[in-house]
Amino acid sequence: MNRFLPFPPDKPRRSRDVSILILLAALIVILFLVSMNTGFMRLSPFEVLHTLSGNGTRQQQLILFDFRLPRIVISLLIGAGFAVAGSILQGLSRNALAEPSTLGINAGAGFAVLIFISFVPATTAAPIFVLPLLALAGASLTAALVYFLSYRRADGLSPTRLILIGIAVGAGIYAFQLILSLRLDPQNYQFVAIWLAGKIWGGDWRFVLALLPWIMIFVPFACYKARVLNVLNLGDETSKGLGMPLERERLLLLAAAVALAGACVSVSGGIGFVGLIAPHLARRLVGPRHQIMLPVAALSGALLLLTADTIGRWILQPAEIPTGIVVAIIGAPYFLYLLAKSKA
């Protein structure tokens, strides 16, 4: 990898980047504490700290450790996973609009999971750990289909064509999801409808354990490949001229993005736009160098999704707004803004 361009930052820039990372981490910690105090059963900050130290009542421990903490951790993991997946896809396609939901990857992963949970109730630990694998299969098949339909021998992979075909494939899969949901009994239909809207339905530590390995493997892998993404941004001819095995690196990075998106969809449902907003925010904060942009995007995505989940649990208590709807309210206008700015 030393033969590729390193893009080293100067010392003032490095200091600023570290400051931004620390600031984002501090905001996550603050929101973490706020989120633990958000819900129908309120806990004061003192009660939260008292319970975390092991001195709370049995009810407080049940609320905090069995209900809120798993969901908060899952929100952070999902936000980071979607953000890194979106960063990879934008780097590979050199398209600012690319992210798992606009390319249909979320829809493919969700369709595979939906088939499973519609016919096999997840009442034991084993199916929960199978869900990410099923989501990976659905996401992989969808990504392969979108790539196949977008690629042309004459001009290769067009970023605009990739986005349009991804949206079309995603819309088709969502139609099949609705057809499948109409065949369900009322109880399962209500669950599926909320899940498709982007509800974080994995609310216990088993789902954390099912999702954590995927985040722990593929997020560091993406950071390890940051220099490759930097070179890919220079264009195919330059990348080949620098001695990069272009197709192999693209395949590895695409597999990482698909794995991250699929695993996140398996416990979050149809949440979109996190992979779109977080990379753009990271590039505005620290620039395009993926060595620092990817960690900043991961923290930004985690912060965004935890904020959306906290708002969804707070604004209509005791009812709850699915996290995906809150994110869509934020992300849809931003997507239209980027679409208006992009060159067709």
pLDDT digits (tens, 9 = 90+) for 306-327: 999 999 888 877 778 888 888 8
Confidence grade of residue 20 (pLDDT, cut at 50, 70, 90): very high
Cβ-contact 212, 73 below 8 angstroms: no
Q: How far is CA 252 from the centre of its chain?
A: 18
Q: What is the pLDDT of residue 27?
A: 95
Question: Could you report the per-residue pLDDT of 238-273, keeping only the tens digit for each?
Answer: 777 777 777 788 889 989 999 999 989 888 877 888
Mean predicted confidence (pLDDT) in 234-241: 72
Cβ-contact 71, 305 below 8 angstroms: no
Max avg pLDDT among 26-30, 174-178, 207-211 = 26-30
Question: Could you report the per-residue pLDDT of 168-182, keeping only the tens digit for each?
Answer: 999 999 888 888 888
Burial of residue 29 (CB within 10 Å: 0-12, 13-18, 19+) is exposed
What are the Cα distances from residue 268, in Å, to 101, 118, 137, 148, 175?
Answer: 13, 16, 17, 27, 19
How many CB atoms within 10 Å of residue 247?
A: 9
Q: What is the pLDDT of residue 123?
A: 45
Question: Could you report the per-residue pLDDT of 97-145, keeping only the tens digit for each?
Answer: 888 988 889 889 888 888 887 776 554 445 677 878 888 899 999 988 9
3-class DSSP state for residue 67?
Answer: helix
**Count of alpha carbons within 13 angstroms of residue 299, beta-carbon side:** 21
Rounded distance between C-alpha atoms, residue 173 and residue 138, angstroms:
11
Residue 284, C-beta contacts closer than 8 angstroms, at least 6 positions apart: none
The closest alpha carbon to 42, from 66, 60, 65, belongs to 60
Rounded distance between C-alpha atoms, residue 102 and residue 84, angstroms:
15
Q: What is the pLDDT of residue 126?
A: 54
For residues 328 and 183, which has the higher predicted lDDT (pLDDT)? 328
For residues 14 and 258, which has the higher predicted lDDT (pLDDT)? 258
Question: Could you report the per-residue pLDDT of 34-87, keeping only the tens digit for each?
Answer: 888 877 777 777 777 777 777 777 887 888 888 888 999 999 999 999 999 999
Rounded distance between C-alpha atoms, residue 313 and residue 301, angstroms:
18
3-class DSSP state for residue 287?
Answer: coil
pLDDT at 212 over 90: yes
Q: How far is CA 338 from the centre of its chain?
A: 19
Mean predicted confidence (pLDDT) in 182-205: 74
Percent of the chain at pLDDT > 70 equals 90
In degrees and rounded to multiples of 5, residue 152 shows phi and psi of -130, 135
Rounded distance between C-alpha atoms, residue 123 and residue 232, angstroms:
44
